[in-house]
Structure 1
Amino acid sequence: MLGLGHLRRRARVTGRPQGFWAVWLPSLFASVTLFLLVFVGGVLATVVGLVGYQAPVLSAGQLTGVWRGADGAALRLDPGGKAELTKLPTESESGDWFTNPPYAVCEGTGNWSTGRTGDRDAVVVRLDSGCGRQTYWKIGGTEGAPELFAQFGDPDAGEVWILVRG
Structure 2
Amino acid sequence: MVTPELYGETAPEPAARGGRWSRLATGAELAFVAQVIVAGAVFLATSGMRDDHGTGFVSGTAVLEVLAGGLPLLALAGCLHWVLFSLPVTALARLTGGRRWETGRVVVCAAAVTAAHAWWATALWDVPFGWAAVWIAGAGVLPLVAAWHARRRSLWWGGMLARVGALTGIALLVALVGAFVQARTGWLGYEPPRMERDQYVGSWIGGGGAHRLRLGGNGEAEAGNLPLENRNTALWDACSGTGTWAFEPKGAAGGLGTSGGARDRVTLTIESCGRMVDWRIGGTADRPELFTVLDDSDARRVITLHRP
| Interval containing the TM-score (normalised by the shorter chain) | 0.5 to 0.7
SS in structure 2 opposite 1:130?
A: coil
Query: What amino acid does structure 2 have at the position aligned with 1:64?
Result: V
Q: Choose from 218, 222, 243 the match for 1:84.
A: 222
RMSD over aligned Cα atoms: 2.9
Q: Give per-residue Cα distances to partners, 1:88-127, cap 9 Å, x unaligned.
A: 222136569xx9xxx7211111111112153111111111
Structure 1 vs Structure 2: percent identity of aligned residues? 37
Q: Tell me, which stretches of 5 or more residues in structure 1 are unaligned? A: 1-34
8 Å contact from structure 1 (residues 85, 108) kept in 2: yes
Which protein is richer in strand relative to its size?
Answer: 1
Q: TM-score, normalised by structure 2?
A: 0.34
Q: Which stretch shifts more, 131-140 or 112-121?
A: 112-121
C-alpha displacement at 1:156, in angstroms?
8.5
2:264 alignment counterpart: 121
CA distance in 1, matches of 2:285, 2:202: 16
Q: Which residue of 2 aligns with 1:136?
A: 278
Tell me by how many angstroms 1:86 deviates: 1.1
Identify which of 190, 193, 202 aligns with 1:56.
193
Map residues 66-77 of structure 1 onto 2, 5 A cutoff: 66-70=203-207, 71-77=209-215
Deviation per CA, 1:24-54, whole angstroms, max 9, x where unpaired? Answer: xxxxxxxxxxx9xx88xx57xx75x651010
Aligned ranges 1:140-151 → 2 under 5 Å: 140-151=282-293
Q: How many residues align?
A: 120
> 2: CA distance between counterparts of 1:161 and 1:134?
13
Distance 2:215 2:228 in 1: 15
Q: Secondary structure of the residue that 1:126 maps to in structure 2?
A: strand
Distance apart, 1:72 and its partner CA: 2.1
- What's the counterpart of residue 25 of structure 1? none
Paired AA for residue 131 in structure 1: C
Secondary structure at 2:304 match in 1:
strand
Take 1:140 and 1:154, find their aligned partners in 2: how far apart are those partners? 21
- Structure 1 pair 152/113, CA: closer, same or farther in 2 (3 Å)? same
Q: CA deviation at 1:154?
A: 5.0
What per-residue deviation string (whole Å, max 9, x for no partner) do you get for residues 115-163 of structure 1? 2153111111111x22131321010000000000011125993221110
1:112 aligned residue: 245
State the partner residue of 1:13. Answer: none
SS in 2 for 1:114: strand
Cα distance in 2, alignment partners of residues 51 and 137 from structure 1: 25
> Using the alignment, how far apart are the partners of 1:54 and 1:66 within structure 2?
24
Aligned to 1:9: none
* Cα distance change, pair 113–54 in 1 and its aligned pair in 2 (3 A): same
1:148–1:163 CA contact under 8 A, matched in 2: yes
Give the match's secondary structure for 1:120.
coil
**Residues 23-62 of structure 1: matches in 2 within 5 Å?**
42=181, 50-62=187-199
| TM-score under structure 1 length normalisation | 0.61
Q: 132-141 or 153-162: which moved more?
A: 153-162
